[in-house]
């Protein structure tokens, strides 16, 4: 076994042990080389988003000194051309509708209207292809037309090219640097699928009063699709969790009765459905989820990895600790406005308070954006190694 | 609880009742401004309930939507009626960020409390903040930011305002805003939520 293979195995063991609530030799640490890394290069955001070789170069320049157990990825989430060729209205990308050194943004609109509920509930996939795609894609306005067909082929090709390039890069990083990736697969809470992309914030929140039964029926119709989404993909891997960015379940979007009735049952069904197939969810609880911890504790043991962003960390440990692996502990603003000394102090304290008898992964709680500082991130990793030995 | 039936209806988010009462009062010749005042009174109670934790965002947004729909009926009839404002406040989401939820909630509460809010929208360049402050002479400007990556743009906007010698107080808000960010960008106040923002306005205008 080569050194790198051995390193990969050690890190993988730490990750797997922590996810099963066990105590590894060291506290596993998880970071990516995100948008923050771009400012230390000569590249603009636009170049990095559009040219994956440049994005990969940024990662590979830094990886040799990046001693993390779990790698949460490079500076870009997707390759924008797969949206651009569809004439997609969903996003603004750097250099197109935004300055070239800006991150991407989502254009929220009611792409699904209130009167679309019945058709959507009857057959979500058919409704998405026939109605949603033409509405969000200028080049796919007339499905079946020559123009629409070409756009679809180009976009699918771009999606496949991006997937292949990302897969090859991940493989290379595993072999050459012993890097363990964080996820395989992607899913969401059904309420967020409906609320984020289809009905938009005001639409879904007013639907709760204007047409509550439709909201419930639509969320239920989405459940099997979101179970499938979490496990679909190469090899149907079940070692790594699927990524689930969770939105409207954060406090204080919904009142407690609404949360119990509209958000939780179908998210729980997705988690239980995935767990029945051996697939775990990375429960990316962005924002504050403190009021809901007791409910979350009812999930099957070990079926999620719970991310602590602005949730009360001590309460999370008290209520969820031992049942689920907890991840987080480093506030994103500390990595921007703190100093390496302050970051180290914080990491030491966090390990003392949260690492306990295992089942904990040290990581930034939320998304690290372009403002985070490299010296603070490196200090966090260094401190994790210094204080994170069990 | 507000005594007026229309104020009550909007506070309780009874949409159909609000629509019916607005129509009924217009038919009976009640002055549109009086109807708006009743609605506003109800919205102040919605804001109070949100502040106390009895109402959540879903209820606040529902109240705002009911109010907005009622205003599309009432606004064209309000011509000539002059409002009695507590003062001008300029507000916007800073450059590079297009999130409007937090800003819109603050705008709603400020308007409900009787301020004239000059809403510059989202992705607002620093020049627009400067221009609006010069024009309105507002003593308070609110800046909203969700994305931490856009906090530098907030600092630039505040620097531009100070460089022009404008002495308006700067209030910043957003999910990842705290004292550290306030010091970094050079603001006078920060708000963790919309009701904090309202308290700052009360302080500035007292």
What residues in B contact A209, CB-CB < 8 Å? 13, 15, 62
In this structure, the answer to whether residues B73 and B161 fall within a common structural domain is no
- Mark yes or no for CB contact B15/A210 under 8 Å: yes
In this structure, the answer to whether residues B63 and B106 fall within a common structural domain is no
In this structure, the answer to whether residues B66 and B139 fall within a common structural domain is no
* ipTM above 0.90 for this complex: no
In this structure, the answer to whether residues B16 and B39 fall within a common structural domain is yes
Closest of A192, A193, A329 to residue A253, by C-alpha = A192
Confidence of residue B68 (pLDDT cuts 50, 70, 90): confident
What residues in A contact B178, CB-CB < 8 Å? 333
- How far apart, in Å, are the Cα atoms of B185 and each of A169, A238, B150? 38, 45, 11
122-151 in chain B: CB under 8 A from chain A? 147-149, 151
Q: Average pLDDT in the B173-181 region? A: 89
- Within 10 angstroms of residue A169's Cβ, the number of other Cβ atoms is 18
- Within 10 angstroms of residue B67's Cβ, the number of other Cβ atoms is 21
Structurally, chain B folds into a number of domains equal to: 2
In this structure, the answer to whether residues B73 and B92 fall within a common structural domain is no
Interchain contact B121–A (C-beta under 8 A): no
- What is the rounded CA–CA span in Å between residue A320 and residue A299? 10
Whether residue A224 lies inside any domain: the answer is no
Tokens of A370: 């372009």
Q: How does DSSP classify residue A21? A: T
Confidence of residue B205 (pLDDT cuts 50, 70, 90): very high
- Mark yes or no for CB contact B61/A337 under 8 Å: no
In this structure, the answer to whether residues B60 and B113 fall within a common structural domain is no
Whether residue B68 lies inside any domain: the answer is yes
pLDDT greater than 90 at residue B193: no
**3-state DSSP call for residue A226?**
helix
**Domain edge (last residue) among B60, B78, B96:** B78
- Mark yes or no for CB contact B149/A371 under 8 Å: yes
What residues in A contact B181, CB-CB < 8 Å? 333, 337
In this structure, the answer to whether residues B101 and B177 fall within a common structural domain is yes
Interchain contact B154–A (C-beta under 8 A): no
Interchain contact B88–A (C-beta under 8 A): no
**pLDDT given at position B82:** 53
Q: Give me the half-sphere count of Cα atoms (radius 13 Å) on the Cβ side of residue A374.
A: 14
Inter-residue contact A45 to A369 (CB < 8 Å): no
Q: What is the CATH number of the domain that holds B114?
A: 3.40.50.280
**pLDDT given at position A364:** 96
Tokens of A58: 């940024």
**How many interchain CB pairs under 8 A, A with B?**
67
In this structure, the answer to whether residues B127 and B200 fall within a common structural domain is yes
Which chain B residue's Cα is nearest to A334?
B180
- Mark yes or no for CB contact A210/B176 under 8 Å: no
**Domain edge (last residue) among B56, B78, B100:** B78
**pLDDT given at position A269:** 98
Interchain contact A342–B (C-beta under 8 A): no
9-68 in chain B: CB under 8 A from chain A? 13, 15, 53, 55-59, 61-62, 65
Count H helices and E strands in chain A, helices first: 18, 11
Characterise B193 by phi-psi region: left (phi > 0), alpha (psi -120 to 50), beta (else). Answer: beta
**pLDDT given at position B80:** 55
- B60: containing domain: 5-78
**pLDDT given at position A91:** 92
Whether residue A105 lies inside any domain: the answer is yes
Inter-residue contact A314 to A351 (CB < 8 Å): no
**pLDDT given at position B184:** 92
In this structure, the answer to whether residues B100 and B53 fall within a common structural domain is no
- What is the rounded CA–CA span in Å between residue B6 and residue B17? 8
- Mark yes or no for CB contact A105/B98 under 8 Å: yes
What residues in B contact A253, CB-CB < 8 Å? 56-58
Q: What is the CATH number of the domain that holds B69?
A: 1.10.1240.10
Question: What is the pTM assigned to this prediction?
Answer: 0.89
Whether residue A316 lies inside any domain: the answer is no
In this structure, the answer to whether residues B115 and B136 fall within a common structural domain is yes
**Domain edge (last residue) among B78, B109, B134:** B78
Closest of A83, A132, A127 to residue A111, by C-alpha = A132
- Mark yes or no for CB contact B149/A103 under 8 Å: yes
Confidence of residue B195 (pLDDT cuts 50, 70, 90): confident
353-382 in chain A: CB under 8 A from chain B? 366, 369-372
Whether residue B83 lies inside any domain: the answer is no
In this structure, the answer to whether residues B106 and B60 fall within a common structural domain is no
- Mark yes or no for CB contact A206/B101 under 8 Å: no
Quote the minimal CA–CA distance from A369 to chain B in Å: 5
Whether residue A35 lies inside any domain: the answer is no
Structurally, chain A folds into a number of domains equal to: 1
Quote the minimal CA–CA distance from B162 to chain A in Å: 22
pLDDT tens-digit readout, B117-140: 999 999 999 999 999 999 999 999
In this structure, the answer to whether residues B67 and B120 fall within a common structural domain is no
- A91: containing domain: 42-62+77-181
- Mark yes or no for CB contact B56/A206 under 8 Å: no
Q: Show Cβ contacts of residue A113 under 8 Å, excluding neighbours closer than 6 positions.
A: none
**pLDDT given at position B50:** 83
pLDDT greater than 90 at residue B33: no
Complete DSSP assignment for A103-167: --EE-----S-GGGHHHHHH-HHHHIIIIIHHHHBGGGSSTTSHHHHHHHHHHHHHHHHHHHHHH
User: Low-confidence residues of chain A, pLDDT below 50?
Assistant: none
């Amino acid at each position: 076994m080569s050194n790198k293979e051995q390193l990969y195995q050690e890190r993988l063991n730490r990750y797997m042990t922590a996810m099963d609530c066990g105590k590894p030799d060291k506290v596993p640490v998880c970071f990516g080389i995100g948008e923050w890394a771009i400012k230390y290069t000569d590249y603009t955001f636009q170049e990095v988003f559009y040219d994956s070789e440049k994005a990969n170069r940024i990662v590979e320049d830094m990886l040799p000194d990046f001693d993390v157990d779990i790698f949460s990825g490079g500076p870009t989430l997707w390759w924008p051309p797969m949206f651009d060729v569809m004439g997609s209205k969903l996003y603004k990308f750097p250099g197109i509708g935004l300055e070239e050194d800006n991150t991407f943004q989502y254009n929220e609109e009611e792409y699904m209207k209130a009167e679309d509920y019945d058709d959507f509930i009857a057959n979500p996939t058919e409704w998405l292809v026939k109605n949603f795609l033409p509405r969000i894609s200028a080049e796919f306005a007339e499905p079946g037309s020559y123009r629409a067909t070409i756009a679809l082929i180009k976009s699918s090709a771009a999606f496949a090219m991006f997937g292949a390039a990302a897969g090859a890069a991940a493989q290379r990083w595993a072999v050459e640097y012993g890097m363990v990736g964080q996820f395989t697969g992607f899913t969401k809470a059904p309420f967020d699928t409906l609320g984020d992309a289809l009905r938009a914030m005001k639409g879904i929140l007013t639907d709760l009063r204007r047409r509550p039964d439709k909201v419930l029926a639509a969320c239920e119709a989405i459940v099997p699709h979101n179970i499938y989404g979490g496990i679909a993909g190469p090899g149907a891997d079940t070692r790594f969790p699927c990524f689930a960015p969770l939105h409207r379940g954060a406090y204080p979007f919904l009142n407690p009765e609404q949360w119990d009735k509209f958000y939780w049952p179908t998210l729980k069904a997705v988690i239980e459905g995935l767990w029945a197939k051996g697939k775990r969810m990375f429960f990316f609880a962005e924002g504050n989820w403190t009021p809901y911890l007791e409910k979350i504790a009812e999930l099957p043991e070990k079926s999620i990895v719970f991310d602590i962003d602005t949730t009360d960390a001590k309460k999370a440990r008290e209520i969820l600790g031992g049942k689920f692996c907890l991840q987080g502990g480093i506030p994103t603003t500390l990595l921007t406005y703190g100093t390496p000394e302050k970051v180290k102090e914080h990491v030491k304290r966090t390990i003392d308070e949260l690492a306990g008898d295992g089942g904990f992964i040290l990581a930034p709680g939320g998304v690290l954006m372009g403002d985070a500082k490299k010296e603070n991130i490196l200090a966090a990793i260094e401190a994790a190694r210094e204080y994170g030995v069990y | 609880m507000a005594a007026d039936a229309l104020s009550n209806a909007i506070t309780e988010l009874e949409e159909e009742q609000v629509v019916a009462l607005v129509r009924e009062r217009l038919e009976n010749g009640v002055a549109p401004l009086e109807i708006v005042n009743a609605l506003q009174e109800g919205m102040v109670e919605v804001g109070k309930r949100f502040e106390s934790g009895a109402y959540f965002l879903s209820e606040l947004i529902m109240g705002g939507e009911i109010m907005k729909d009622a205003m599309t009926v009432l606004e064209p009839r309000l011509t000539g009626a002059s409002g009695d404002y507590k003062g001008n406040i300029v507000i916007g989401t800073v450059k590079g960020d297009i999130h409007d939820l937090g800003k819109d909630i603050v705008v709603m509460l400020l308007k409900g409390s009787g301020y004239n809010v000059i809403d510059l929208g989202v992705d607002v360049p620093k020049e627009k903040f400067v221009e609006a402050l010069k024009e309105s002479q507002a003593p308070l400007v609110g800046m909203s930011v969700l994305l931490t990556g856009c906090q530098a743009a907030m600092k630039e906007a505040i620097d531009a305002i100070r460089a022009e010698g404008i002495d308006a107080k700067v209030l910043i808000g957003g999910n990842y805003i705290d004292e550290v960010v306030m010091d970094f960008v050079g603001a006078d106040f920060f708000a963790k939520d919309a009701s904090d923002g309202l308290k700052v306005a009360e302080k500035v205008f007292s």
